[in-house]
Structure 1
């Protein structure tokens, strides 16, 4: 490996300006010190370039990794924000080689999960079977499942995530919203295409969780005006597009319908189903049919659902959820996901995970209504956090004193969809962006990957949101996995996911 790095020379200028005697210096937390910091020169982007070799998809690949900052600038050229990214580009400078832009969700999450879990050239090896990841050291191993045999890859951390941050006097809140965030990512992609000479290359865009929301909004920002950046594919992993349909508020019946097939899969996995079918897919198919048929119709009747009709729905609901008819009656046939996590395995003194309901946890006591925490998140976060910090600083040679923000790095999020009329103010769905992109780009296709055991973004929610009027169905493909939100933590599903996405890219 050969290391090439560019350091921030302008720091020397800033330091020379601070040469006053110690007695004249301002306290570090004073308003004056903060003002001086804002007025200090902004150093050039911090970037590291390294060269590597690996075997991916059975092919030996030599590639260059470029990790560091790209500045988003105002019209007058003033740097406003530093976007941290890691680009893996196959050596040879083929201007027509596919390139895939990836990010995670949150919306305050860095791209560490897809980077170190699924598609990057290295990954962190944590338990594959739903066990806690424990304590370090966590193995960082070669990832032969990476997509570098078929596409260059750019992992993007939006402002407030990873090492990305606002610059100078810029308020980071300027970037914290569906539309503002999408514009900043789209601006970054345009800059990357400029700098790398890839405007005519096949382009793929993808994200996980809120990253699927971002994918739809970024696709709209790229293709929704005359100065198009045309896409070949959108990759949606653990999809959330329609927030209105899945909002757990009183009077909204859809969240119960959407969550039911995932409850059925979870009950099946944990042995809570009588006469358990041989495979989860067949049981899920039954639950899906019940959810969108008899169950939806029953909930729509509200208080008019009585007598034997109500009893019949309750019996079927008990079979699919693994919960008692008494409990279902007390919940008026509407069980929130947070209650389900606690109730399903209460007799065993365990809770099930939200991100991945294969995981189980043990609360402080067994009497509560909801879990203390999500065992499927605290079961993986330590390994991923350690891995990204070690890998970027050691293997990729990136030097910084900033802390990598894995998740939770943004404040209040602006959910209004700017420039889309009244519909963006009341019903929060970016599904129409996908429909518009498909209708106006005949070469665009959509990949949807969903885990059966994911309550954060239930697979039936993805199916529902992408089956609405105005969304062409013939260029959308669905793939299902025997894990949860981050299906790639399961070894078998990581291989299947990367194989499915590889085939999707090759079939452009």
Structure 2
């Protein structure tokens, strides 16, 4: 989910999965074989259950499967197990889309997307949208089951996905091995549920958006599976543009519109026209002045005053930072010394645990606050509604995975070098029917929407055309926690799927 901060596994993942249940979910619950090793012994057999929900004014019957997909080493021993939850509608058209969804981190489980956006049940955080202590599961009337079957995957080290030997987990903590293992899990599900003929889509959030681009290639090259499209939600696309906002003018300029949007949102005064003005200013005067020598005299006063007015950060703080605001927004945006805003939603502020310090921030109020309730809620839901009962702890977000992540594949690399722009260009060029939808929240400073817009704007028109769209919604990194924005995004996603043979709606 957040950015705290791969030798290929194809030969190690070739052994077949034991026979699985059909997509209709008929038959008895599968039992776990005796080949389980280590902590994998705590995983029960797959649990299959049948459900009915009302969505879009119609009754939808569906089968839910909570289970694991086995990964094997080259010697045939079980290397690990990938936990997944599949929702498959019954009595629907044979060409119904199949979407594989995962979160990011690296180190985040899929419960965020599962109970926050696409699943049949959703976690309600109360009237103010931020009450994790009293959050309650409710029916999701906007579940994506309305228009696609969904398989949610937890990469190794997240959720209930584990390696047989604890020391082997780190082998998956790099860009390429992670993508290969997720691609193998997808291929196993497709093969054992007779879904080779279904149009296949990927949904990835945050690092999961980056992962989606890598998995598209891994599916094609290692598994012979061609993906029809992908939805990247609050994605990392270009590390050098995203992680350098405090040092380089272009990074700061691409982040600026999110600061302006958050300032308006905090005052309940968000205005699309004013946001467009902020975008023009960011890549105009703001970028030009930051890229040159600092202004002086009346020019400096006017410039820093305008930046202050658009972001809510006091003019003297703006001047002190020469207009670079990445280090100043957290404690200066609200105009109150005892408040701090979250980079995951800069419109969201909470009491500052360290008001006497300019740098100490403490836990993030969004990621380390109310959204942590997704973990406990999913564990309870899986046990009591899906019938998947295990004593293993559900790992919602493991910061150690992110700290150990090898961004350049096995051998290291920096997150500044992380990029999927070339990947996007390649699969748009090699698959003329591939379509991409990128979605962001306006006030997200973790993955500012300006970076994705820059990437999309610089794609060759012959590749992008009407096959790539960028949509921006009110809110932050997880803007779907806002009910109205979740509804808007779901409507756009439905159009993306239902118009798979036509063109995409423009923003």
Q: TM-score scaled by structure 1?
A: 0.85
Rounded to whole Å, the distance in 2 between the matches of 1:123 and 1:469 is 36
Equivalence for 1:262: 258
Q: 1:175 to 1:93 in 2, by over 3 A?
A: farther
Q: CA deviation at 1:227?
A: 5.4
User: C-alpha root-mean-square deviation of aligned residues, in Å?
Assistant: 2.9
Aligned match of 1:437: 427
How far off is 1:426 after superposition?
7.1
CA deviation string 1:387-440 (max 9, x = no partner): 101100110000111111111162500101579xx9999732112111111111
Partner of 1:119: 118
- 128 and 355 in structure 1: CA distance in 2 versus 1, 3 angstrom threshold: farther
Distance 1:251 1:352 in 2: 21
Deviation at 1:356, TM superposition (A): 1.7
Q: Distance in 1 between matches of 2:413 and 2:170?
A: 23
1:292, 1:262 → 2: CA distance?
13
Hey, what's the Cα distance between the residues in 1 that align with 2:95 and 2:415?
Answer: 40
2:86 matches 1:97: no
Aligned pairs for 1:462-477 (under 5 A) are 462-470=452-460, 472-474=463-465, 475-477=467-469
> Which residue matches 2:503?
none
Query: Which residue of structure 2 lines up, in the alignment, with residue 288 of structure 1?
Result: 279
Q: Kindly indicate whether residue 207 of structure 2 is the aligned counterpart of residue 210 of structure 1.
A: yes
Q: For residue 131 of structure 2, what is the aligned residue in structure 1?
A: 133
The answer (yes or no) to whether the contact 1:346–1:366 under 8 Å persists in 2 is no
- C-alpha deviations, 1:303-360, integer Å up to 9, x for none? 5x54554444323212211222211111121111x42011112426211222122322
Q: CA deviation at 1:96?
A: 2.6
Q: What is the CA–CA distance in structure 2 between the aligned matches of 1:250 and 1:323, rounded to whole Å?
A: 15
Q: Name the residue aligned to 2:65.
A: 66
Q: Tell me the SS of whatever aligns to 1:385.
A: helix
Is the partner of 2:343 in helix, strand or coil?
A: coil
| Distance (whole Å) between structure 1 residues aligned to residue 29 and residue 122 of structure 2 | 23
Alpha-carbon distance, 1:88 to partner: 0.5
2:504 aligned partner: none
Q: Give the number of equivalent residue pairs.
A: 471
CA contact (8 A) 2:132 2:371 kept: no
Aligned partners of 1:93, 1:499: CA distance in 2, in Å? 20
Question: Does residue 151 of structure 1 match 2:148?
Answer: yes
Residues 263 and 347, structure 2, Cα contact 8 Å, conserved in 1:
no
The alpha-carbon deviation at position 484 of structure 1 amounts to 1.3
CA contact (8 A) 2:173 2:404 kept: yes
Which residue in 2 is equivalent to 1:231? 227
Match of 1:492 in 2: 484
After the TM superposition, list the runs of 4 or more consecutive aligned residues in structure 1 that deviate by more than 6 angstroms: 40-45, 422-426
Aligned pair in 2 of structure 1 residues 292, 152: CA closer, same or farther (>3 Å)?
Answer: same
Structure number, greater radius of gyration? 1
Match status 1:502 vs 2:498: no
Residue 396 of structure 1 corresponds to 386
Pairing of 1:271-420 with structure 2 (within 5 A)? 271=267, 279-302=270-293, 305-336=295-326, 338-347=327-336, 349-370=338-359, 371-408=361-398, 410=401, 411-416=403-408
1:115 alignment partner, SS class: helix
**How far apart are the structure 2 equivalents of 1:490 and 1:68?**
30
SS at structure 1 position matched to 2:398:
coil
- What is the CA-CA distance between 1:94 and the residue it aligns to? 5.6
Q: Could you list the runs of 5+ residues in structure 2 that have no partner in the other structure?
A: 1-24, 501-507
Q: What TM-score, normalized by structure 2, do the two folds share?
A: 0.86
Deviates more, 1:180-189 or 1:305-314: 305-314
Q: In 2 relative to 1, CA 97–249 (structure 1 residues): closer, same or farther, beyond 3 Å?
A: closer
Q: Is 1:352–1:360's contact at 8 Å kept on the other side of the alignment?
A: yes
Aligned to 1:18: none
- 2-side partners of 1:428 and 1:417: how far apart? 10
- Alignment of 1:175 onto 2:210: no
Measure how far apart 1:235 and its partner are: 0.4
Given that 1:119 and 1:146 are in contact with CA atoms closer than 8 Å, whether structure 2 keeps it comes out as yes
Matches of 1:140 and 1:3 in 2, distance apart?
Answer: 28
Shift, 1:376, TM fit? 2.2
SS at structure 2 position matched to 1:97: coil
Q: Structure 1 residues 491, 227: CA separation in 2 closer, same or farther (over 3 Å shift)? A: closer
User: Measured at CA, do residues 430 and 145 of structure 1 come closer, stay the same or move farther in structure 2, by a change above 3 Å?
Assistant: same
> Which residue matches 2:21?
none
SS in structure 1 at match of 2:464: coil
Structure 1 CA distance for aligned equivalents of residues 202 and 245 of structure 2: 32
Distance in 2, Cα, partners of 1:306 & 1:217: 47
Answering whether residue 30 of structure 2 is matched by residue 6 of structure 1, we say yes
Residue of structure 2 in register with 1:459 after alignment: 449
In the aligned structure 2, how far is the partner of 1:398 from the partner of 1:423? 38
Q: 1:45 to 1:228 in 2, by over 3 A?
A: farther
Q: Secondary structure at the match of 1:357?
A: strand
Contact map agreement 1:127 1:489 (CA 8 A) in 2: no
179-188 or 347-356, which moves further after superposition? 347-356
Distance 1:2 1:192 in 2: 16
Deviations 1:477-496 (A, max 9, x none): 12221111111111111111
Q: Deviations over 1:278-303 (max 9, x none)?
A: 64322221111111121112222145
